[in-house]
Amino acid sequence: MKQTNTHLLIKYRMPALLFTLLCVVSIILPYASVGENSIRIFTLFSLNDFAKTMAGLYIAGVICSLVIKVLVMVRPIKSIARMALVLDVISAGSYSVLLFGSKSILDKAGIFDAGFMVKDFGIGYWLGLVMAYVALTFTMKLCKISTGYIVLTWLSIIWLFPILWIVLTSLRAESGYYVGYFIPRGFTLDNYKALFSKTSVIPFGKWWFNTFIVAICSCIISSMIVLMTSYVLSRVRFSWRGSLMRVMLIIGMFPGFMSMIAVYNILKGAGLSQSLGALIVVNVAGAAMGYYICKGFLDTIPRSLDEAAIIDGATRFQIFTRVTIPLSKPIIIYTVLTSFIGPWGDYIFPSMLLGDKQNSYTVAIGLKWMTDFRRINNYYTQFAAGAVLVSIPIVILFVALQRFYVEGLSGAVKG
């Protein structure tokens, strides 16, 4: 803590320099070897442009970085250190790319007869890769930049990978489930058009709309139910309150689809089977059992507010509408959001409840239908397009309302 100037943590300049030095040393060590045959990184220069660029970026990166870090030893200035940082990012990045790209580069050039595998990388590569990251870490510390960025970047790539894949697939011109490449050879919007075309087997537009209706109705009604239940459980003390809460907790634990056939017959007895109405009724009926989070949130609203309102002569109903609800925006949004999302992903029950009534199907049934093993090869790209279309409204809602979601949830759990 003593060695600080305003912009740099200069105690880290020494390790940053040392590890970059190790990177430079690693350049002359063997890059890869299969059996007797071994190459240095310089061999990459004689292959293709991509290899040349990546190898060049790495070598230039580490050497320049070394020079600059020596400079930093002499004159610790922020802008110079930042330059080293950029160079370290470049060298770590280019070596990471080579981790994935080396096989195709080396195999295409026919360097190794037996073909190259990742395990064939030599000490030079591994040392270089690890040291590049270690050096980067220290340079970041030197510049007072959180090293968390490295982890976050990698995690983001992992998290976005499937999403990117599905979006790319939905735009892919070549149909088929198995393709041996990540980026489509041709881009098209036909998969989206096919979902809505008149000749399509799947009336996707209709199903999307059905789901939307069910989602809207269920989320309005079940939010009301959850809110009312939670309010009562949080604010009103009546004799059977404790047992009610415990009983609801317990019966919520029975695996629901066990009794699906019973629910189906009850709905049939009520003349509701095979309709969207039935779906809404079922989604809503059990809503009260999800009171837990919402009640937790309401518990955090000070009771003194209620008491003040009672003194002013307000009824409990008025307190609920004028005091509690305005203060519960985050948890209301949380509840609405979760109950809105439910129907989009609900598959088991709708598929049983709706039977052969295709024009009341929801998107989940349609998408599952497309991934059946006999159809997946023909419909995979359309499935991807459908998946994107289903996700879009929810993603928008989620991203827009994220703040409330966090507040509602954390407020509630804090209970």
Q: Which of residues 262-321 bind another protein (CB under 8 A)?
A: 262-266, 268-269, 273-274, 281-282, 284-289, 292, 296, 299-300, 302-303, 315-318, 320
Main-chain dihedrals φ then ψ at residue 9, nearest 5 degrees: -100, 90
CB of 381 to another protein, least distance (A): 12
Q: Residues 291, 282: contact at Cβ < 8 Å?
A: no
- Which span (36-44, 76-84, 87-95, 234-242) binds another protein, by CB under 8 A? 234-242
Q: Which is nearer to another protein, 173 or 348 (CB)?
A: 348
The one-letter amino acid code at 251 reads I
Measured in degrees and rounded to the nearest 5, phi and psi for residue 25 equal -60, -40
* Cβ 291 to another protein shortest distance, Å: 9
In the block, tokens 């000490």 appear at: 123
Stretch that binds another protein, among 46-54, 59-67, 70-78, 387-395 (CB under 8 A): 387-395
Residue 396 burial (C-beta neighbours within 10 Å; 0-12, 13-18, 19+): exposed
Alpha helix ranges (H) inside 290-375: 291-299, 303-311, 316-319, 325-327, 329-345, 348-353, 363-370
Q: Which is nearer to another protein, 74 or 113 (CB)?
A: 113
**Window 32-51: contact mask with another protein (x via CB under 8 A):** --------------------
Is residue 213 part of the contact set for another protein (CB under 8 A)? Answer: no
- Cα–Cα–Cα angle for 195, 358, 215, nearest 5°? 80
Cα(318)–Cα(409) distance, integer angstroms: 25
Q: Counting contacts by CB under 8 A, is residue 398 touching another protein?
A: yes
Q: Is 344 in the site for another protein (CB under 8 A)?
A: yes
- 324 residue type, one letter: T
**Interface segment toward another protein; rule CB under 8 A; list 15-23, 34-42, 79-87, 389-397:** 389-397
Q: Which residue reads 């397009």 in tokens? A: 385
Min separation Cβ 325 and another protein, Å:
13
Residue with tokens 């991934």: 371
For another protein, what does the binding mask look like between residues 114 and 133, x meaning CB under 8 A? Answer: -xxxx-x-------------
Q: How many residues sit in the footprint of another protein (CB under 8 A)?
A: 136
Smallest distance from the beta carbon of 13 to another protein, in angstroms?
Answer: 18
- Chain-centroid distance of CA 380 in Å reads 21
**C-alpha–C-alpha distance, residues 27 and 23, integer Å:** 7
Q: Choose, by CB under 8 A, the member of 231, 279, 280, 324 that binds another protein.
A: 231
How many other CB atoms sit within 10 Å of the CB of residue 222?
24
Nearer to another protein, 46 or 345 (CB): 345
Non-local (6+) Cβ contacts of 200 within 8 A are 194
Query: CA 67, CA 21: separation in Å to the nearest integer?
Result: 10
User: Which residues, in sequence order, are bridge partners of residue 160?
Assistant: none
- Assess 77 for contact with another protein (CB under 8 A): no
Which of 155, 189, 305, 308 is in the footprint of another protein by CB under 8 A?
155
Residue 181 engages another protein in binding (rule: CB under 8 A): yes
Is residue 186 close enough to count as binding another protein by CB under 8 A? no
- Interaction of residue 399 with another protein, rule CB under 8 A: yes
